[in-house]
Amino acid sequence: MSASTATVSAGSVWDRVKGYSPPSRFLPVIATLALFIGLFALGGVRYEGFSDPQVLLSLLIDNAFLIVLAVGMTFVILTGGIDLSVGSVVALSTMIAAKTLQMGWSPYLSMAAVLATGTLLGLLMGLLVHYFDIQPFIATLAGLFLARGLTYLISVESISISDPTFTKLAFKTVTFGDYYLRWTAIIALVTVAIAAYVLARTRFGRTVYAIGGNESSAMLMGLRVAFTKVGVYVISGFCASLGGLLFSFYILSGNSLHAIGTELDAIAAVVIGGTLLTGGRGYVVGSLLGVLVLGLIRVLISFDGTLSSYWIRIITGALLLVFVVVQRFATRRQP
């Protein structure tokens, strides 16, 4: 210990910078960050107006709901589970918001109803997973069907949101000089910050990693496995409904066809962000970067103009493949 401090203090700042190698657990996140910067640089070189900071801020605004979904998904995947229901819960949230506002509820009451519904659905799925030993895949599959069915039950047709308070909230912006950010994006960033704090600094967060590492060991260590395992699905359900709320701010309508396949985007973002799908390793910041990488690809394609939108899916799939294969070989080397 003392020897290493001595050598470090002896060298110049440049030596320290040169000799610094980040801990290997941060490598996936750094790889995603490098990918993001590389893509942004590519766009900046190729297209005029791409390097404008507002492009980055718009990226946050457009993907605010997906960021929140990915945060919830990160918790679930860190425990080794998966949540397929988030896309349907987003649709259900937009529908509940639209319907209750149409019925004349106060916007705040309506938001509370949305968040309560998502959290309750998450709780139900968590209970199914933990207490009845149903595989997360199947339990959340039931959640997917249930939420989509409830959405249709409320209304088969699209309902638009015209409540003045709600729309005012949706377009509220914060300006930094010439640039602006909507409140929805700030909520998403705050969610990331809170989630990062919970995972890194609280007992709950450490238990999440422990369960992902080895559930029976976590149980034998006397950690609160049941509470945490149900808890991550509650968090994911809450995040899904919060994401749904942000999505209704963004799109201002409730529709049972909203957000089909969004669960795949969220899972892809988490994987591209460097979280191990077997659980136990990963960071929320990585998921944020994963969403931004996916969003940037979308922006690049729209700037290009010659590529069709379906390339987004193909490129997402290819990125997913690269990250999964690299993860596979990276984890194989470690004991």
Q: By the criterion CB under 8 A, which residues form the site for another protein?
A: 82, 128, 131-135, 137-139, 141-146, 148-150, 152-153, 156, 256, 260, 264, 267-268, 271, 277-278, 308-314, 316-318, 320-321, 324-325, 328, 332
Least spacing, CB of residue 260 vs another protein, in Å: 8
User: For the residues of 302-321, what is the DSSP string, one character each?
Assistant: HHH-SS-THHHHHHHHHHHH
CB of 56 to another protein, least distance (A): 25
The minimum distance between CB 113 and another protein, in angstroms, equals 19
Q: Where are the beta strands (DSSP E) in 46-160?
A: 159-160
Q: What burial class does residue 167 get, using C-beta atoms within 10 Å of its C-beta: 0-12 exposed, 13-18 middle, 19+ buried?
A: middle
Contact (CB, 8 A) for 102 and 216: no
In the bound state with another protein, the residue whose beta carbon lies nearer, of 152 and 171, is 152
**Given the complex with another protein, which of 143 and 205 has the nearer CB atom?**
143
Using alpha carbons, list the distances in angstroms from residue 70 to 109, 192, 205. Answer: 25, 9, 16
* Rounded least distance, CB 188 to another protein, Å: 22
Residue closer to another protein (CB basis): 27 or 301: 301
- Give the nearest distance from C-beta 119 to another protein in angstroms: 18
- The nearer residue to another protein, 111 or 144, going by C-beta atoms, is 144
156-to-11, 72, 74, 87, 91 alpha-carbon distances in Å? 69, 28, 32, 17, 12
Closest to another protein by CB, 27 or 141: 141
Nearest residue (CB) to another protein, 292 versus 312 = 312
Element (H, E) at 52: none
Q: How far is the CB of 191 from another protein (least distance, A)?
A: 24
User: What secondary structure, in 3-state letters, does 228-274 show?
Assistant: HHHHHHHHHHHHHHHHHHHHHHHHCEECCCCCCCHHHHHHHHHHHCC
